[in-house]
Amino acid sequence: MLLMADLYNYRQALDEAAFAAHLVEEDTRTIWFEHEDIQAADEPYLLPLLGETFTSWRKDTDEQGMSANGFFVLTDLTGNVIGSAGTLGMDRLSEALAIAKRAASVATKTAGTTEDEQGMVAVPILTRSDRRPFCVLVYVTEHIASQQADTVAQLSAMHFRTCFYRRFEQLFIKDLLLYQKRTDKEASRRDALFLAAKRLYDQFDVSSVLSEMLSSLEQLYPESVAQLYLSQDHVNGDPRVKPLVFKNAAHDLVAKSFLEGKLVTELDRDGTKRLAVPMTGKQSAYGVLCLTVNATRWDDADLPAFLLLADTAGSAFENAKLYEQSNLLINELRLINELTKRLNQSLKLKEIFKFASSELLNVFKADYCCVLQLNKEKNQFVVTASNIPVMANEHFSPEYGFCGIVYRTKEPLIISDYWHTRVVSSKLMDNTGARSLIATPIMVDSEVVGVIMVAHKSANYFSYDNYKLLQVMSTHIGLAITNASLHAEVRRMVITDNLTGLHARHYLNEQIQSRQRKDPLGALILVDIDHFKQINDTYGHQVGDQILVHVSNIIRNSIRQGDIAARWGGEELAVYLPGIRSDQAYRIAERIRTHVEAETQPVVTVSCGVSEWTFENEKISVESLFYRADMALYEAKNNGRNRIYIGQAN
């Protein structure tokens, strides 16, 4: 049984091998083009091919010595001589050619071998598919018998026919290889275009789309120079991206392409070819893509790829612009929502101003922003929020600068280049070196209550859309400022602690923050009444309040007029000493501690924590100053109370 199975498998393997060999045979016949032949369309190229074949055949014939005993002539179907070979005297050459033409004519009509009485044989060369003559080979001889001459002519014709079809197949294969090369090139270009289109559509930023498009052009056409002329307002750092200017549309290649909406080409005298095609989306044309290349290196087959890339870039640019505009609208809505939320949370007026200033900087991508509020009592504008330190808390007359223009006209304004159109003097523009400005009034009940100014260092930076957007935003900011002013007014009414008469904690924080922007150094003392809860529990809260007031008076009498004392919380008090180092602050704290212990009744003591800051510190902030003082106070209380410790900087 095993033997029968093995024989069966062996037989099956033989069958499969035979079938595979058959396929190979079929493939081989296909590869060698056995069924391919010359067609009517090949006739214009037939004569050169016959001439090349005859030259090759003649070389083989000379090597075999077949032309030593005769003369060969190749003619076309009309009798024109294509080539000749062999030995024949000059006196017989013209006669032989004349006889060959006549014999060729006869052989063409009969499509068979023709013999002449003067030792000449004419053999028509037939196609291999339909046996149709396409040329005639004539053999002339005087040295061999007629029957032998016929045999030589027949064999030579067969040899020539073989040489011809070998040449024909070589040309056919050459054309196939050329076609394959072009096909591979097109496939490679399609792949490159697909990847370029994918990268373009993956971008959501306008600048990224433009950079990606120009990079793709450099990859597709490495020996060219690509430039993009935009009709849109867009700031781009790439020198290849330029504004589209209509100076002479009739002779300007770029302007003509944009206006006509089609491809425009021109050839310069130096052999440079320029192509300009509109970069168009679904809504409109956004610019013109211009390619400069050496005319000798340009192939018109590359044109469809160039046009397709321009269309793809136009769509990608349009999508990025729409995305950019939607983001702008979203930012506007987000700002309004944030302002409303801040207002409902009853935030401080200064925080509202700072928030509005930071949001305006983000929305407009600006360098500087100032929000000014009109103080009606003093009749002056006050800078309430700004990212420019020197402008903090600055005061201006309602007649001064751009805020004065906005105040008088109650209209927004836009300045494209302050350096070239200095309408008025502006401290904001002069101190920062800014050139572009948009400003708008903050209106409440048809009255100007403030001015918003947004500036940038570059000229012609702000667009008309920016100008209109700032107007819309100022309306919402005005509402926020109006309501926040009520909170600010209440906060000013409670700037001091009702019990101690000292400043409130938030005022102390603001003052320290302000001083840190102006002063080179300062110190902070935190004062805590020891065992204050025990005083309240023993003597009652009324006595505890009296002790708190008494200690506050001692602190007030122990500091300078410019120093700031505040109730930090509960029984904790704080003193900020501008321009004072920690060693001097320690002496002042010691004075307070001594007086409290000597003058209070019932007797209480205090523990103090001292910290300082200087402009040399890596981190200057109110929080870090309080943190170091609080840690020092904690150490003083843990080490027995009624003592002073100085906090060390990290």
Which residue, 445, 427, 450, 448, is CA-closest to 437? 427
What's 349's DSSP letter? H
Give the SS3 label for residue 137: strand
Tokens of 648: 């060390």
Tokens of 268: 């310069």
Cα angle value 226/231/235 (rounded, 5°) = 75
Reported as type and span, the H/E element at residue 153 is helix 146-202
CB 613 within 8 A of CB 522: yes
For residue 582, count other CB atoms closer than 10 A to its CB: 23
Q: Which residues pair with 544 in a beta bridge?
A: none
Rounded distance between C-alpha atoms, residue 342 and residue 354, angstroms = 12
Rounded distance between C-alpha atoms, residue 456 and residue 234, angstroms = 15
CB 612 within 8 A of CB 582: yes
Cis preceding-peptide flag for 602 (omega within 30 of 0): yes
Q: Which residues pair with 503 in a beta bridge?
A: 496, 566
Rounded distance between C-alpha atoms, residue 212 and residue 228, angstroms = 12
The two beta strands, 644-646 and 606-614, are parallel
Catalytic-role residue among 571, 590, 599, 612: 571
Q: What are the two backbone dihedrals, phi and then psi, of residue 242, each rounded to the nearest 5 degrees? A: -130, 160
Q: What share of the chain is helix, strand, coil (3-state, %, to 5)?
A: 55, 20, 25
Give the SS3 label for residue 15: helix
Residues 6+ positions from 388 with CB-CB distance below 8 Å: 368, 370, 428, 431, 432
Rounded distance between C-alpha atoms, residue 462 and residue 122, angstroms = 91
Rounded distance between C-alpha atoms, residue 170 and residue 179, angstroms = 14
Which residue, 238, 233, 244, 189, is CA-closest to 209? 238
* 571 is an active site residue: yes
Give the SS3 label for residue 236: coil
CB 448 within 8 A of CB 372: no
Rounded distance between C-alpha atoms, residue 563 and residue 512, angstroms = 11
User: Catalytic site residues?
Assistant: 571
